[in-house]
Chain A
């Protein structure tokens, strides 16, 4: 490691505050982007599944004729 100790790594001379703020914000932005994209995908597939279940419950006969033809 470039630094002598963990405290040195945190302090980074006089620049610890700036460096850690930049990295912390970056981590926050990336995690938030992931959670938001993931959340939208999960919500959409859940809605799709519900819709498919409803369709199957409402019209079980159409499903079987579809298979026969």
Chain B
């Protein structure tokens, strides 16, 4: 892959980290659209507790025990790293494993 595209990926990752670590600190705590409607329409209480709700990063770091700011930052960095790795790995596998391979050249 050419150098300019690598630069683009790195620059994009820096922006993603800025969102996950800094901008996320200013996120609204109000319920999102679905939660809001569920409460208004009286079916929010049919929601069950999440089966992985005790995991360390559950609720974006809520169980980490540090300050809110630090928990959100750690959750943001972890989430960006895992989604990057999972996305990259999945697409790499899809291309390499010959899934959907045809006789056409792939780098057309």
Partners in one complex: no
Contact surface of A with B, Cβ cutoff 8 Å: none
Contact surface of B with A, Cβ cutoff 8 Å: none
